[in-house]
Amino acid sequence: MIPELGHFALILALFVALVQAVVPMIGASRGDRAWMGVASSAAAAQFALVTLAFGCLVWCYVVSDFSVLNVAQNSHTDKPLLYKITGVWGNHEGSMLLWVFILSVYGMAAALFGRNLPPTLRARALAVQGLVAFGFLVFILLTSNPFLRLDPAPPNGMGMNPLLQDPGLAFHPPFLYLGYVGFSMAYSFAVAALIEGRVDAVWARWVRPWVLAAWCFLTVGIVGGSWWAYYTLGWGGWWYWDPVENASLMPWLAGTALLHSLIVVERRDALKAWTILLTIVTFSLSLLGTFLVRSGVLTSVHSFAADPSRGVFILALLAGFTGLSLTLFSIRAPSLKGGSLFAPVSREGGLLLNNIFLSAAMGAVLLGTLYPLFMDVLELGKISVGPPYFDMVFIPFMTPVILAMALGPMLAWKRGSLKTAFARLRISLALAAAAIAVFAAFHVSWGVAASMGMAVWLFAGTMETLAERTGFLRAPWRETKRRALGLPRSFYGMIASHAGIAILIAGIAGSTAWQSERIQIMHIGDSVALGGYEIKLAKVEDGIKGPNYTAMRGIFDVSRNGVQDIALHPEKRTYDAPPRTTTKAATWGDFPHNLYAVLGDPDPKGGYVTRLYDKPLVTWIFFGGGLIALGGGLALLDRRYRVGAPTRSKYAGRDG
């Protein structure tokens, strides 16, 4: 009964989404407030119905209802409750239902918090959101129904991929989806503004919180996935330019450019056409990521489906939403002229430069991701584009971005002075030059030395920006405190995010330059010297019972200067359903080291294959990524976005 209830709720949600897409749009064109008011009611009804359907699927997993095909294929009675719940989105059908559920959450949020919006803009934005929901609900009901029955029901399920049975990956997909789907709200506002033919500073104020929220969630999702890959997969890496990893990075890059572009629209009423285009591109890249994961064109640990018909359907959705919005953009673009001029050397110019290079970096990643697929489709041969290509093209594009991130906040709006800006950053310049010289003296590569120099430049420049705005060491302490308390939270968000990027760069450079690795066969009592530590294999415990697996656990004693610091406990697990062996690495670190141990298979002579790594500064990568997301969260709490946009605007004159 519960599966049928969930299925019926999805069917009702489909019709509600259709009403939401059509009636408010007609009402906005006629100026009929009653019809426009349907948008909020329909968004609330759609949220309730999709929530009911999602809750029904969760219930089926919790009670192990194996008469539901999706549950039988992806769950098992012995699976811990946490993974029964998270198993809902650990497969294609469930993940698509999660996608639509989050889509309905954003629509409901826009209906609740958008009451100060002009009625026509609000109605049209919710109508576009309803259209997006309608497309994905059709996709689920026709190709990916999670409530299909299985008769007769098996006595037990097939289980869940053991790699997905981890707390990190349990929460990684929801955060990614909150980011991907969040950009749909910005897309809806962009299309609504194109229909109305009005894009101004007030519109940018309305849109920016939605972009910030999506960008923060996507950042957390990417960083969380990277951390999961580092400590779970057992190869000691945190990023490998996997095509599906790239699928999450591309909308993040585009979303970062969009955030900065919205600042220019809000402050200077400029770059309006560029901002609208970035909004469309960002959401289109989110849909592209969905296509790559579910089309079967990629084989990856991240991929869910290998059904070409599903891929064709999503490709049609991608083409439809992107083509519709780009067509509308081509019609309206001539009217989206900026209201303010600015010199190339200015705050606006710095933000535009950032946008150009971020977009170029995104394009380079897009080319490297899709080019092998195009070659395969056209039967021109199979090629592989790996990390060397991405490192070669991505780093040069991002270098000017890092340089401009410290310089831009020191430039004035409309017309700035490079000489003045560099004079304000003289301490940062000196520290960056000293960092490059010091690291070069330690015979690291020039690339690593330059990366460390850029990290120091950005971090010090960010701190100098903070000191400049607060008058630190130049004004009396009471005045500095007054200025600091008076600065908006969006400013502190920028400081935190820019500092986080600097820390992340240092972590990447340090873990790349100074990592060391030892792979060997160790017997009980053997020791290996690594990174100034002595790592001893004390013992190996076999037959350890977990909830749904049996583990072999190694105990490595870590000592330095003859004093034991800690013990590492890596495991090799054999799961029951489905039968599969996985590794669980053990990590530990202090400043600056991070030790990483993996226990492999036993050899015939009583030893064990072990992999030991020392990855200095690698934890800085995850800390820096978290600080970037925190900065976005601080900006989202800015009072301007809680109070809302001012009522005086072009919209107000039109709608009253």
Please tell me the predicted confidence (pLDDT) of residue 146. 96
DSSP letter at 149 equals: B
Provide the pLDDT confidence category of residue 338 given band limits of 50, 70 and 90.
low
Output the six-digit token pair for 391. 């490192």
Give the mean pLDDT of 401-412.
94
Mean confidence (pLDDT) of the chain: 90
* CB distance 14 to 141 below 8 Å: yes
Q: What is the mean pLDDT of residues 443-457?
A: 92
CB of 315 within 8 A of CB of 291? yes
Token readout for 501 is 């990027």
Please tell me the distance from the alpha carbon of residue 257 to that of residue 397, in angstroms, as a whole number: 13
Q: State the pLDDT at residue 202.
A: 86
What average pLDDT does range 129-141 have in this prediction? 96
What letter represents residue 58's amino acid? V
Find tokens 């029951």 and name the residue: 576
In this structure, the number of other CB atoms found within 10 A of the CB of residue 549 comes to 20
Chain centroid, CA 29 distance in Å: 36
Closest residue by Cα to residue 193 from 185, 395, 581 = 185
Nearest-angstrom CA–CA distance, 418 and 586: 49
Rg of the chain in Å (alpha carbons):
27
pLDDT of 642 reads 58
pLDDT interval class at 652 (50, 70, 90): very low
Asked whether residue 354 carries a pLDDT value surpassing 90, the answer given is yes
At residue 187, the pLDDT reads 97
Among residues 635, 351, 630, 391, the alpha carbon closest in space to that of 500 is found at 630
**Sign of the Cα pseudo-torsion (182, 185, 188, 190, in order):** negative
Question: For the segment 558-602, what is each residue's pLDDT rounded down to a tens digit?
Answer: 998 888 878 999 999 999 888 889 888 999 887 788 999 999 999
pTM above 0.85, yes or no: yes
pLDDT average, residue stretch 517-543: 93
pLDDT at position 303 is: 47
Are 298 and 243 in contact, with CB atoms under 8 Å apart? yes
- Provide the pLDDT for residue 555: 96
225-254 average pLDDT score: 88
Identify the CA nearest to 465 among candidates 424, 508, 509.
Answer: 424
Which residue's entry shows tokens 């951390």? 227
- The residue count of the chain comes to 656
**Cβ count near 563 (within 10 Å):** 7
The bridge status of strand 571-575 relative to strand 580-584 is: antiparallel
Q: Does the structure show a pLDDT above 70 at 315?
A: yes
Angle at 391 between CA 387 and CA 394, to 5 degrees: 125
pLDDT of 653 strictly over 50: no
DSSP H stretches of helix in 471-605: 477-486, 489-513
Hunting for tokens 């497309």 — which residue is that? 135
Architecture of domain 1-165: Up-down Bundle (1.20)
pLDDT given at position 646? 44
Lowest mean pLDDT among 307-311, 324-328, 465-469: 307-311
Residue 300 pLDDT > 70, yes or no?
no
552: Cα separation from own chain's centroid? 34
Q: State yes or no: pLDDT of 307 exceeds 70.
A: no
pLDDT of residue 656: 31
Q: Is 645 helix (H, G, I), strand (E, B) or coil?
A: coil
